[in-house]
Amino acid sequence: MRGRRGRVLALAALLASVLPVGGRGEGMARPAADRFLAARPAAPGEGALARGLEAIRERALGAHVAFLAAPALGGRGLGTGGLEAAAEYVAAALAQTGLEPFGTDADASAPASWFQAVPLRGFEELTGEVEVRRQSGASLVVRPFRSGIDCRFAPHPPVRLTAPVVFAGHGIRDAEAGHDDYRGLDVRGKIVLILGGLPAGRSGPEEALAARWAPADAATRWERRREVAADLGAAALLAVETEPSGMAPPAEGGEGFFLPFAREADAAPPLVRVSPALADELLAAAALDTGRAAGAKPSELPGVTATVQIGARERPVAARNVLAILRGGDPALRDEAVLLGAHLDHLGRVGGVVHPGADDNASGVAGLLEIARAFAAAPAPPRRTLVFAFWTGEEEGKLGSGFYRRQPRWPLARTVAYLNFDMIGYPWLETDVRELLTALGPPAAESFLAGLELRDFVAPGLPPEAPAVEVALRRAAAATGLALYLDFTDGRDGGSDYREFARAGIPFVRFVDNYGPWYHQSGDTPERLDLGVVARISRLGFATAWDLANPD
């Protein structure tokens, strides 16, 4: 996930440019005013919805957060006893609500379990090297580049491969913008070298290309280009990194990383961020360097091969999702489900210092527990089934939700929506709200802000073409009295578990705050949360789920 400032600037730029909504330019352009819902007096009615909203209390939310973010749990890092203790706590809290366990089915040998096993592999001591072999006249130039200065390796199982090198421009293939760096290239079984940034000297598509191919988040900057290279059969991807943040080691230096046991993770081409110096060594065969390559035609680099070698120590890791179910009461609709999820893990210890993860994501777990309790206490079940999921391994690559997507406990084809709760404990700042409101113009912006309490402002993410989800959110805003900015996005490159369901074509809602200053820091502690914001977003989520589970 990117930080507050980057996210606000991205949203404001999107509004100001009147781009098509959605991270991939999907959907039709929406007027800015249609994306803002002003705060009004809450109107939940007098029935079960109103009682459910009242049942979500700050005191209970605070108790959950205090336990989950306590120092004794050590930051709930994947593969640690603290995360296991958190999973047991969540299962016990769900059992008190009267919901059914849904991690496994009951059989003759054992009752149903709250836990869905998620087998993982842990890797430590990641090392790597890129060796360049280039023919220079009658001589063979051999240069090794070791990890640490000239190359950084994204998490990948140990591998050694040697292949010819192909230069593929910026590595972009975008039919909408009419740009294809791979046109005429055969990269199957070859190592692909690409530049960062965007193509220069084009008229028109730069903004659309930026939205799809140059996200502000360093962690995802290369992922879409890696997907394109993988689809074309590339053996590895070497990405020229010019930003210092991109050369920071995400998994080296003893921190380790995790991958699923599914062997498709091994088949993905290794991604190596490389320095301009390493890239220049490769490009020299074509009389190029990184400064001139941006204007050059993509081509195979004559007489150049590279060897990519990655090493790491592997161990099995047992992880668990926690799942519960409330079966629908309408025979015509109970075979359809609304899935609600929040990730349970955090960073654990970083450099020996506990990162408690109160906002990220004890707040979302607390909210989902109280939503589950409110639904379970209703006088009658919803018409559709509800599945509650507490994911493992989100911080390490959406591993728990990714496993569920591959091994769903409820069929994805009969899952009508996914609601994600991740970081819901901080209010927006007025400066950030005003930045979003610039697209409305001064009179409308001031009218929207008049009397607005910042704790009442939420910016849920949702797909641009998901009418049932959008209607549910609008009704939930009316029921709770909250002001909304509808942040349309396709979600496929999202920074939380909703990404997995967006990729499966399931409509989603991303409930999130505007990030606090302690994001992924040791200062993300319970006393810094605004429990009023946690309660507001939890109630908004409850009302949204209520509408989706009880369609007209």
Q: How many residues does the chain have?
A: 552
CA distance 436 to 168: 37
Whether the CB-CB separation of 41 and 492 falls below 8 Å is answered with no
Burial class (CB in 10 A: 0-12, 13-18, 19+), 492: buried
Which domains are delineated in the chain?
4-118+319-549 (3.40.630.10), 121-315 (3.50.30.30)
Chain centroid offset of residue 256 CA: 20
pLDDT at residue 11, rounded to an integer: 52
Task: Give me 513's structure tokens.
Answer: 């705050």
pLDDT of residue 23: 37
Can you give the C-alpha Rg of the chain in angstroms?
Answer: 24
* Structural contact between residues 384 and 545, judged by C-beta atoms closer than 8 angstroms: no
Rounded to whole angstroms, how far apart are CA atoms 112 and 95?
Answer: 12
Give the contacts of 415 (CB within 8 A, at least 6 positions apart): 336, 337, 338, 339, 387, 408, 501, 506
How far is CA 212 from each of CA 147, 170, 491, rounded to the nearest angstrom? Answer: 29, 13, 11
Q: Which residues of 502-528 are buried (b: 16+ CB within 10 A; e: fewer)?
A: bbbebbbbbbbbbbbebbbbbebbbee
Note whether 516 and 358 are within 8 A (CB): no
Q: Rounded CA gap, 343 and 364, in Å?
A: 7
Could you read off the pLDDT tens digit of each residue along the chain, which spans 552 residues? 444 444 554 454 444 443 333 333 333 467 788 899 999 999 888 799 999 999 999 999 999 999 999 999 999 999 999 999 999 999 999 999 999 999 998 887 889 999 999 999 999 888 899 999 998 877 888 999 988 889 999 889 999 999 999 999 999 998 888 889 999 999 999 999 999 888 875 544 466 677 678 776 666 778 889 999 999 999 999 999 887 666 665 443 445 889 988 766 677 899 999 999 999 999 998 999 998 888 889 999 999 999 999 999 999 999 999 999 999 999 999 999 999 999 999 999 998 999 999 999 999 999 999 999 999 999 999 999 999 999 999 999 999 999 999 999 999 999 999 999 999 999 999 999 999 898 778 788 888 998 899 999 999 999 999 999 999 999 999 999 999 999 999 998 889 999 999 999 999 999 999 888 899 999 999 999 999 999 999 999 999 999 999 998
Q: Can you tell me which residue has the tokens 């919805």? A: 49
SS3 267: helix
C-alpha pair distances (Å), 353 with each of 75, 84, 346, 372, 521: 9, 19, 13, 33, 9
- The token pair at 128 is 């790597």
Q: Check if the beta carbon of residue 317 is closer than 8 Å to that of residue 163.
A: no
pTM confidence score: 0.86
Strand partners for 320? 117
β-pairing, 457-458 vs 483-485, is parallel
Give the start-end residues of each E strand in 379-456.
385-391, 415-421
Cβ distance 390 to 322 under 8 Å?
yes
Cβ-based neighbour number of residue 227 at 10 Å: 16
| The two three-digit tokens of residue 414, written as one number | 């009969």
Angle at 220 between CA 210 and CA 188, to 5 degrees: 90
